[in-house]
């Protein structure tokens, strides 16, 4: 058996690791490894059979420098007397995401009177996976296997496989999977789930589906049963390539097997329908979830609402939006603006949707949401179409006060509406507010105002309005009655 090298692993150089002064060095003979190290490993593993390892809680402090001082003090006072205590602290630091401190502790290992065991190196594998360094983690695995330590547990192998898969490096993940077979470490369903997600991540959907089929057949006779995560991984793969119907078939199959789909399973299909332009199918899926007593979450509703708005299903979008409010979910401001614009446009022909536009606008105003200028103008038009001219007037004035530039059409429709209701004073206020911005003026507003003033016998006022129009380069069709 090979002796431990002085520097078994080459860590990447970065500012994160600037706290250490030198790499760890092991000066342990092969004999020491064979006797002391393996004996400690055996005792520790025996202990694990009877007692679950509980990491020593690491005291949280405000700064990294304070943590380093505490760690140095712990080591200096000799509080770490056994490899078990060392492993506990090492693992605790990693679980707490104190990775720089964990590395500092690891590099100090040569200062103690004990040797690393298989668990130490397994924790080191975890460290590299946390650092998103699956290649380095693999080097540690190979070192463990090649130097007589106890074979890593299946969870350790699975961590490395998952780390590779998350980076889309499926080939390397399967190489680690093959190593598991060589050391007779049987994979769990979680191991396969990681591989399935990796295959789907890189678009190898057919291979993922084939692997799922093999798991169901249990060809290796290890009594593996696919779980809800197994099905969800492949469902997600199908949805990403526009095959949501096949994903739904897998969902039904999982239910027939007695599995309970998670909220993630349903959300995966929602996302698939959205990408395929089938939002109304998502609406049906929402009802199906409720029938199975699976409460949709914020992601479910948001994905569905986004799809409905994206594909112009505003009436259904209003229903989902109202359900979200009833459930206490806060709708994204961008989606509220999109919904408001869509409902306002639809209300031009479908008058019953005016009330929906008012409700959305009121909610946005109540929450202090930023309403985009286009939505604002469409809402003003909706107020006019609903004969709510006072609200149209107030909101147009608010737009002007905010420094926004309403289109001439918006200005004209409000002025005409006010004149129809005989509210000439308010129409005049709007005229005054925009008289310095000639690009917003045209004859439509002036004609409407002059016509109403003539009707009311306000000849002098009509004459003034006519003169203002001429001064701004606008020639009204109507003239004051003399």
Using only C-alpha atoms, what is the Rg of the chain? 35
pLDDT of the residue at 74: 58
Task: State mean pLDDT over 70-81.
Answer: 61
Q: Does residue 1 register a pLDDT over 50?
A: no
Q: Is residue 219 part of a domain?
A: no
Alpha carbons 139 and 152: distance in angstroms, whole number: 13
94, 127, 152 — which closes off a domain? 152
Alpha carbons 156 and 342: distance in angstroms, whole number: 52
Q: Which domain holds residue 88?
A: 1-152
Q: Does residue 25 register a pLDDT over 60?
A: no
Task: State mean pLDDT over 69-73.
Answer: 57
pLDDT of the residue at 361: 95
Q: Does residue 49 register a pLDDT over 50?
A: no
The structural domain count of the chain equals 2
Please, are residues 234 and 209 in contact by the beta-carbon 8 Å criterion?
yes
* Cα within 13 Å of Cα(95), Cβ side: 13
Q: Is residue 405 part of a domain?
A: yes
- For the stretch 202-222, pLDDT in tens is 999 999 999 999 998 875 555
Q: Is residue 54 part of a domain?
A: yes
Q: Does residue 42 register a pLDDT over 70?
A: no
Task: State mean pLDDT over 19-33.
Answer: 29
The more confident residue out of 170 and 220 is 170
- For the stretch 80-129, pLDDT in tens is 888 988 999 899 899 888 898 888 888 888 888 888 999 999 999 999 99
Both tokens of 420, joined, read 């129809």
pLDDT of the residue at 439: 59
pLDDT of the residue at 481: 81
The more confident residue out of 258 and 217 is 258
Give percent of the chain with pLDDT exceeding 90. 56
Of 41-50, 178-187, 282-291, 397-406, which range is least confident?
Answer: 41-50
pLDDT of the residue at 31: 28
Q: Is residue 116 part of a domain?
A: yes
Q: Is residue 254 part of a domain?
A: no
pLDDT band at 58 (very low <50, low <70, confident <90, very high): very low
Q: Is residue 451 part of a domain?
A: yes
The more confident residue out of 54 and 411 is 411
pLDDT of the residue at 77: 47
pLDDT band at 373 (very low <50, low <70, confident <90, very high): very high
Q: Is residue 204 part of a domain?
A: no
Alpha carbons 380 and 414: distance in angstroms, whole number: 8
* Cα within 13 Å of Cα(58), Cβ side: 30
152, 177, 193 — which closes off a domain? 152
pLDDT of the residue at 220: 58
Task: State mean pLDDT over 359-369.
Answer: 93
Alpha carbons 366 and 361: distance in angstroms, whole number: 8
121, 152, 183 — which closes off a domain? 152
Q: Is residue 235 part of a domain?
A: no
């Amino acid at each position: 058996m090979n002796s431990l090298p002085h520097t078994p692993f080459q860590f990447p150089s970065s500012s994160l690791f600037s706290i250490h002064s030198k790499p760890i060095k092991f000066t342990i003979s092969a004999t020491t490894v064979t006797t002391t190290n393996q004996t400690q490993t055996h005792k520790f593993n025996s202990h694990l059979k009877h007692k679950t390892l509980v990491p020593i809680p690491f005291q949280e402090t405000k700064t990294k420098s304070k943590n380093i001082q505490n760690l140095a003090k712990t080591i200096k006072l000799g509080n770490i007397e056994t490899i078990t205590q060392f492993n506990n602290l090492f693992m605790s630091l990693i679980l707490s995401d104190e990775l720089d401190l964990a590395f500092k502790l690891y590099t100090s290992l040569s200062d103690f009177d004990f040797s690393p065991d298989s668990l130490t190196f397994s924790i080191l594998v975890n460290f590299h996976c946390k650092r998103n360094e699956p290649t380095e983690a693999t080097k540690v695995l190979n070192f463990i296997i090649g130097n007589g330590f106890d074979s890593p547990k299946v969870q350790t192998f699975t961590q490395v496989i998952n780390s590779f898969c998350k980076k889309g490096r499926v080939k390397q993940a399967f190489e680690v999977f093959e190593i598991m077979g060589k050391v007779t470490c049987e994979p769990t369903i979680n191991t396969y789930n990681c591989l399935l997600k990796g295959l789907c991540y890189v678009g190898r959907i057919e291979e993922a589906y084939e692997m799922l089929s093999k798991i169901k057949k249990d060809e290796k006779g290890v009594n593996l049963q696919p779980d809800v995560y197994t099905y969800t991984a492949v469902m997600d793969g199908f949805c990403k390539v526009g095959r949501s119907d096949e994903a739904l078939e897998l969902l039904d199959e999982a239910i027939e097997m007695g599995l309970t789909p998670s909220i993630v399973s349903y959300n995966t299909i929602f996302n698939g329908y959205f990408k395929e332009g089938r939002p109304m199918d998502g609406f049906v899926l929402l009802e199906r979830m409720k029938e199975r007593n699976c409460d949709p979450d914020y992601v479910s509703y948001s994905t569905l609402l986004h799809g409905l708005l994206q594909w112009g299903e505003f009436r259904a979008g209003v229903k989902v939006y109202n359900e979200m409010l009833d459930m206490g979910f806060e709708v994204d401001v961008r989606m509220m603006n999109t919904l408001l614009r869509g409902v306002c446009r639809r209300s031009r022909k479908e008058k019953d949707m005016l009330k929906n536009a008012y409700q959305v606008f009121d909610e946005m105003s109540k929450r202090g949401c930023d309403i985009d200028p286009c939505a604002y103008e469409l809402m003003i038009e909706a107020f006019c179409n609903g004969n709510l001219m006072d609200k149209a007037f107030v909101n147009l004035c608010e737009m002007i006060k905010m420094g926004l530039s309403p289109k001439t059409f918006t200005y004209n429709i409000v002025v005409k509406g006010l004149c129809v209701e005989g509210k000439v004073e308010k129409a005049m206020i709007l005229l005054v507010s925009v008289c310095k911005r000639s690009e917003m003026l045209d004859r439509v507003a002036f004609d409407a105002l002059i016509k109403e003033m003539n009707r009311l016998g306000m000849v002098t006022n009509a004459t003034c309005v006519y003169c203002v129009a001429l001064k701004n380069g606008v020639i009204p069709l109507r003239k004051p009655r003399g």
